Amino acid sequence: MSMYVGESLVGEGNEVAHIDLLIGDKTGPVGAAFASALADQSMGHSNLLAVLEPNLAVKPSTVMITKVTIKGAKQAVQMFGPAQYAVAKAVADSVEEGVIPKDQCEDLVIVCGVFIHWEAEDDKKIYEYNYAATKESIARAMKNEPSADEMVAKKGAASHPFSGV
């Protein structure tokens, strides 16, 4: 498989975490997206590597992309602080737990879309929700979940929390 796709929504309020991610080979489409994300920075969309601490990036190499325009220093610090650490820790724990095979870490890359609400206040919740959502997204991606059968079986009862319907 050249591309795995994962998604997860965790939490509530302005600190809610919604992660969309791609996992794939460096030489495939995810690798191209990874390189493009790092090379194509724009105002309000500062993409960054997931690091456990400065000078300790995770493997597989993971680029975080903002899903909303970062509009101020507070929101930027939340992205470069609790959200960045949450994503990095989730990737590292997924490798340690065997969800991502350690022997593939140099061949794979991750592109991780992160949502930070402009009115988020609680850094602890930002960390907790983004950690849980990233872990769940990775696990779902690596297992190709949901399957087409599961999606079709559940679509009639599905209720999107932000649909307004």
Type of residue found at 70: I
Alpha carbons 63 and 58: distance in angstroms, whole number? 10
Q: Give the residues across from 108 on adjacent strands.
A: 25
pLDDT in tens, 39-71: 988 888 889 999 999 999 999 999 999 999 998
Residue 163 lies in a domain: no
Residue 1 — very low, low, confident or very high, per pLDDT cuts 50/70/90?
A: low
Residue 165 lies in a domain: no
pTM for the full predicted model: 0.94
Residue 127 lies in a domain: yes
Any idea which residues carry the catalytic annotation?
Answer: 18
Residue 126 lies in a domain: yes
Average pLDDT over residues 29-33: 96
Residue 148 lies in a domain: yes
Query: Three-class SS string for the chain?
Result: CCEEEEEEEECCHHHCEEEEEEEEECCCHHHHHHHHHHHCCECCECCEECEEECCEECCCEEEEEECCCCCCHHHHHHHHHHHHHHHHHHHHHHHHCCCCCHHHCCCEEEEEEECCCCCCCCHHHHHHHHHHHHHHHHHHHHCCCCCHHHHHHHHHHCCCCCCCC
* Structural domain range at position 103: 3-157
Supply the pLDDT for residue 120. 95
Q: CATH number of the domain that 71 lies in?
A: 3.30.230.60
Q: Report residue 106: phi and psi, to 5°.
A: -85, -15
Task: Provide the number of structural domains found in the chain.
Answer: 1
Cβ–Cβ < 8 Å for 108, 4: no
Q: Give the residues across from 25 on adjacent strands.
A: 108
Supply the pLDDT for residue 65. 96
